[in-house]
Structure 1
């Protein structure tokens, strides 16, 4: 236990004083998106620059403190917060600097997807990111990063040009294809195992300000028919088309008919990362399929599409996730999925298929640390609820569906979707790249100082 004088002296070296337990702002600073996570750091450092981060790393090393790193705090496993350690809080390091001539963007690691999108769209540009705007850019990127643009332009990591980070020994270094290339390889999919990333540089693509999009909701009774249509519709789709099929609850608000509000439905959410005319033609099969509750097919501001899922994933609700990669969506798999989701606990739960394929698959599995390139879909089981007394029911329901869908899965795991009880799946998420990642971990963090992540264990000294 550190004495107060030592803590106070350290606090005075930072740009802002440490936030201690019982002080104003402590509970807000330690909170993360998943309301099930309730850990209490011994101290929280709201860093505003690289020097603050270096001081935090050196202090924690000197005093053998557990460290967690909070960017957006959106990781379901709650790795951003530690108990009885030092939280490095990066939310104030959220600058986004766009170079419209070079079509690149430099973004600090405390920024969210929404903050990045807002700045790049001022120039009609974007880089592939996720579909919930409150997600932190750091965690998303370090684990891979999938979204509406990925089939056309690759995962978030495939658009990463360079990073700057503070290593476990307090050094501030850069990594790219020519400078520390081993680290740059590992950063792209290997998570927060190698340091505190302070900024990312991405390449940008012409997107928007409007893109063709579809948001269509069908009664849950039509789920089998919709999944079958979705499989056929997406099987030979152009790279520009990214389609999600999700079982969700209808929001209790307009424009949904009151009779369906709060009920379970199946939604097709589609974005087309190309011209509006080409998008209209590609989405034409959706115009007349089925008898939807609501059908919207029209040009939509890219920023609106990127924020349209936010209300379905509010901060502070209780969450538990499981996920599979899938190569195929067989009739039997559809039957199992539909039958299990007839009973759908959790007001904020969603279960469904995210698109893979396209440009994602054209990157070799050992070109970056992210190896899971060949799948057609990610099956995500995202259970979300409010009441603590329903924890066991929702967790058990999620595990049951995950187990029932395992025979149809292609193996591996997506590290960004691993929950707190998935430590046994970490090596599977890195697949054939795990041994090489251990080598990089051993070089840059041999004592596993950065361990609150989907942790890669350094190789033992021989």
Structure 2
């Protein structure tokens, strides 16, 4: 039987059970292994308790207990943290996945979503009104981690980052206080609102987010695949620079997936692709298809009209929970030729179909927010790249960590100093200051105000 270096003592456990409406699961109880499991199978930790919060009151009670007992506190929404910060050994996991209520006001174009929602929940609720906001590219991603990290997605070029569309947040901070922040001039917690928009999970538990919505219903979207060739990538660079901001265009470098519209001879072979999301008028659909066809020889294509929520599910089947991940990330100004050479070289050695390298354009509306207006500091970056060996077994993932480290090293001379915090591995803590750049000192001051004892330390941590 596994022993635990630290567990809730009987009195603390009883007090917590009396204070919360949701379930509490501890070691040895039915469902414990299920309760402790997270999206990234590389992470195998054993908390002293998992609290499945039912409401903000449960969140307050759990935060108070962790502070008073000096326990590690991990906050989990969609559980997609590839670094494993949604769980811990011997501490308390605050699982928000039961808090998934949503509400939409179509008149003010605002959506309210509880902290345990996924982007599938938000997209479903908003699409009923012909509205949307920037979200992730895997529908099971939690809104909490994506929003507080900054948040990229298919609509970023025209609608901004996820954090740019946040209009208010309800937050439980380290002393157990429940605060609502909006960033308005009369908001006494405006500094907290600023920090939440890109500063990660350093400042509290967001129990509810309110988002600005945009009139996006159906879009033209889907993947087009090409040979892995530097000329294709250079034409992609031109496509993004010259296109209407309403064209989202993720670049994917990896191995051909076993899709019916991609010839079988390309399955498992190195190639590149563009996942398009055109949120402009249908009358221009043929023009968009022609521009995609002009990037290079088309090996396979599935681009058609679809409801916006569908575009956020296209990676779901390829990336289910339970795979083994290890990530790195970069920001870059443009796509320098040296970076393109690295994509081609290392893309040819991609270790699995799930290990796609994804390049997110973050120009357009993302650039119209000043670097100091939110905690997300890289407003002059044009692209954000996610690098990951994603494999079906732990041993295979470990064996390919050197591939992604060498890939990241090859990109470094062509990249900016920091990277997107949600693409950072657990071994990237030394890059936190670089990731926040000119905003780091201000974030430290906010941290001292709301979490002076660093209760919320299981993250890419900004120490108080």
Q: Normalising by structure 1, what TM-score?
A: 0.95
Q: Distance in 2 between matches of 1:214 and 1:26?
A: 39
1:215 aligns with 2:229: no
Residues 323 and 413 in structure 1, CA contact (< 8 A), matched pair in contact too: yes
SS of the residue 2:389 aligns to: strand
CA contact (8 A) 1:148 1:273 kept: no
Looking at structure 2, the residues matched to 289 and 448 of structure 1 have their Cα atoms a distance apart, in angstroms, of: 49
Cα distance in 1 for residues equivalent to 2:66 and 2:239:
52
User: Aligned match of 2:195 in 186, 200, 204?
Assistant: 186
Equivalent pair of 1:128/1:148 in contact (CA under 8 Å): yes
Per-residue deviation, residues 162-209 of structure 1 (Å, max 9, x unmatched)? 00011100111101123211111111111111111100001110001x
1:412 is the counterpart of 2:418: yes
Q: Provide structure 1 residue ranges, at least 5 long, that are not aligned to the other structure.
A: none
Q: Distance in 2 between matches of 1:442 and 1:373?
A: 25
User: Which residues of structure 2 form unaligned runs of 5+?
Assistant: 1-5
Paired with 1:280 and 1:30, the residues of 2 have a C-alpha distance of: 48
Matched, 1:197 2:178: no
Aligned-pair CA distance for 1:289: 4.4
Query: Residues 358-416 of structure 1: CA distance to partner in whole angstroms, max 9, x if unpaired?
Result: 01011100001111111111122122001222233211000000001100112221111
| Alpha-carbon shift at residue 226 of structure 1 (Å) | 1.5
Q: d(CA) in 2 for partners of 1:334 and 1:288?
A: 18
Indicate the residue corresponding to 1:426 in structure 2: 432
Indicate the residue corresponding to 2:3 in structure 1.
Answer: none
Picking from 333, 343, 357, the partner of 2:363 is 357
2:44 corresponds to 1:44: no
Measured after TM superposition, the shift of residue 297 of structure 1 is 3.0
SS at 1:131 equivalent: coil
**What number of residue pairs does the alignment pair up?**
455
Q: Contact conserved, 1:76 with 1:319, CA < 8 A, in 2?
A: yes
**1:228-239 matched pairs, under 5 angstroms:** 228-239=234-245
Classify the secondary structure of the residue corresponding to 1:36. coil
Q: TM-score, normalised by structure 2?
A: 0.95
Deviations 1:248-296 (A, max 9, x none): 3323342332222233321111111222223443442223543322123
Q: Is the 8 A contact 2:51 2:94 kept in 1?
A: yes
Q: In the alignment, what sits opposite 2:400?
A: 394
| Alignment partner, residue 281 of structure 1 | 287
Q: What pairs up with 1:272-311 in 2 under 5 angstroms?
A: 272-311=278-317
Q: Does 1:19 align with 2:28?
A: no
Does the residue aligned with 2:437 lie in a helix, a strand or coil? helix
Between the aligned partners of 2:37 and 2:167, the Cα distance in structure 1 is: 31
Is contact 1:142-1:189 (8 Å) kept? Answer: yes
SS for the counterpart of 1:274 is coil
Kindly indicate whether residue 409 of structure 2 is the aligned counterpart of residue 403 of structure 1: yes
- CA RMSD across the alignment: 1.5
Structure 1 runs, 4 residues or longer, greater than 4 Å off:
none
1:38-77 equivalences under 5 Å are: 38-77=44-83
For 2:68 and 2:444, locate their aligned partners in 1 and report how far apart those are by CA, in whole Å: 24
**Distance in 1 separating the partners of 2:129 and 2:256:** 34
Conservation of the 8 A alpha-carbon contact between 2:247 and 2:279: yes
Residue 126 of structure 1: CA displacement? 0.4
Equivalent in 379, 390, 410 of residue 384 of structure 1: 390
Q: 1:332 aligns with which of 325, 333, 338?
A: 338
Per-residue deviation, 1:118:
0.8
CA distance in 2, matches of 1:61, 1:107: 26
